[in-house]
Amino acid sequence: MASQILIISTSNVQAATRSGDPTRKIELSPWDLQLLLVDPIQKGLLFRKPRANMNSIIHHLKASLSSTLDFFPPLAGRLTVDEHDDDTSSVSVLCNNSGALFVHAVAADLTISDILQPLYTPRIVHSFFPLNRVRNYEGTCKPLLGVQVTELRDSIFIGCTINHVVADGTSFWHFFNSWSEISRGSREPSKPPTLERWFLDGIDRRPVRIRLPKAKEKQKFGGYLNSRLHQERVFHFSKEKIAELKAKANAMVCSNMISSLQALLTHLWRSIVRTQGTEPEEEVIYRLLIGIRPRMRPPMPENYFGNAVQDGTVSMRAGELLAREGLGKAALEMNKMVALHTEEKLVSHVKSWVKNPRLLTEDGMAGNALVTSSSPRFDVYGNDFGWGKPVAVRSGAGNKTYGKITVFAGVAEGSIDVEVSLSSEILEAMGKDSEFMEAVSDFPLHSIIN
């Protein structure tokens, strides 16, 4: 797709009132710190073009963003590192209102159809996001939040990049939802964030100390997996098809425990393994990110602003996964693995991590496993900035490892969109896999562009 992004302006947006203590530090938890070496979160929304003048739209978005940052001061701050005598460091968020990056760009020859109609997501979508190729640890000098508003011929795309040390997917969409609320005229978010981090009383040494890699060591982390990434494809699943998969999976194992998402992800897993031609005796691995807010006792605040996810792994032999009853059996194993993440297990993980901190890397997060992030529970299509709801959601290049699977709510109620990052050969084979495609629905493009 021959097209060009023209940057119209870049600016720095600070919190509106600039109140509070500019020296305030928020200590980071182990769940935050482990993400220092990987990429920010990059998600964005495509909207039909508002009728208002674009300059007034940009001005309004900047003003509403500034007001929103009053309630999310970490996003206007920077990371700060304190070094200690024992060769360790502690990293915190300094809420100094240094500001967020705001970019106004134009891609005048692109349309909604150009973005949504191709079988594979056009690579130019990655250019709709700011702060590309910036790692989380660079938040000491780079903004922790970047917003890019890209004007297309018939639409606009609002791409948001948030440092992953500061926020997980739940917090990302909490901010996005709050910004759209304030853009529509609210004086404050309906769900103000809880900013203080969660720590184990009497166990964690605070601030948590870690050993940061030296500058030369940081350069070697990640990168090689992205060179294997050829395409991204979004598969759409209707509410009805998902219900059929769930019923089928549960019937296979005489259960009612398997969730809709577990059945759907297992269906996807089976297709990828099948099209890869994996040997029956080979071990295959699926890794999920599990939200832990409701799993603690008492539960963490629903509006906890930070990272509160733990990864879990399901592994089995390829032949077992692809057997006739494999959908039900593997989905049930996924269900059991999630259920094992009790408060006791999570606390044990934190204790172990504090004694021996381990920073995640891009290649370490993926390895030879499929990795799923995000959730269909996030309120994506409720983000109305004052000119209507979005028509689609897309993600940027951040953390796009080979085998990365990103899950979104679909535009139709109860539907789910799954973005799969694999080689073009595997994605093409999946498109020809009749068992898999039987559950895939057509994207309602006609209703969006008309």
Per-residue pLDDT of the chain (450 residues; tens, 9 = 90+): 557 899 999 999 999 986 667 778 999 999 999 999 999 999 999 999 998 899 999 999 999 999 999 999 999 999 999 998 888 999 999 999 999 999 999 999 999 999 999 999 999 999 999 999 999 999 999 999 999 999 999 999 999 999 999 999 999 999 999 999 999 999 999 999 999 998 877 655 678 999 888 765 555 554 434 544 579 999 999 999 999 999 999 999 999 999 999 999 999 999 999 999 999 999 999 999 999 999 998 899 999 999 999 999 999 999 999 999 999 999 999 999 999 999 999 999 999 998 899 999 876 665 578 999 999 999 999 999 999 999 999 999 998 888 999 999 999 999 999 999 999 999 999 999 999 999 999 877 656 666
- Same domain flag for 255 and 346: yes
Same domain, 123 and 232: no
Give the full edge-to-edge strand order of the sheet including 89-94: 25-27, 89-94, 78-83
Edge-to-edge, what's the strand order for the sheet holding 404-409? 231-237, 416-422, 404-409, 370-373, 283-291, 309-317
Which of 192, 218, 244 is a domain's end point?
A: 218
How many CB atoms lie under 10 A from the CB of residue 14?
16
Mark whether 138 and 236 lie in a shared domain.
no
- Residue for token pair 């490892």: 401
Q: Is residue 257 domain-resident?
A: yes
1 assigned to some structural domain = no
CATH code (residue 145):
3.30.559.10
Instruction: Identify the DSSP state of 126.
Output: G
175/257 same-domain check? no
Provide the b/e sequence for 196-232 (b: ≥16 CB within 10 Å): ebbbeeeebeebbbbebbeeeebeebbeebeeebebb
**Host domain of residue 152:** 6-218
Quote the number of domains for the chain: 2
109/206 same-domain check = yes
Per-residue pLDDT at 18 = 61
Model pTM score: 0.95
Q: Are residues 77 and 209 in the same domain?
A: yes
Last residue of a domain, one of 218, 250, 280: 218
Q: Are 94 and 194 in a shared domain? A: yes
Which residues form the catalytic set? 164, 384
Q: What pLDDT is stored for residue 365 in this prediction?
A: 61
270 and 160: one domain?
no
Residue 316 in domain = yes
The last residue of one of the domains, among 175, 190, 218, is: 218
- Residue 315 has phi, psi (to 5 degrees) of -135, 145
Using CA atoms, how far apart are residues 437 and 419, in angstroms rounded to an integer?
15
Report the pLDDT value the prediction gives residue 200, as an integer from 0 to 100: 78
pLDDT for 297 equals 87
Whether residue 245 sits in one domain with residue 156? no
Q: State how beta strands 6-13 and 100-107 pair.
A: antiparallel
φ, ψ for residue 122, nearest 5 deg: -60, 135
- Whether residue 61 lies inside any domain: the answer is yes
253 lies in the same domain as 212 = no
Same domain, 321 and 363: yes
pLDDT reported for residue 152: 97
Res 447: pLDDT? 63
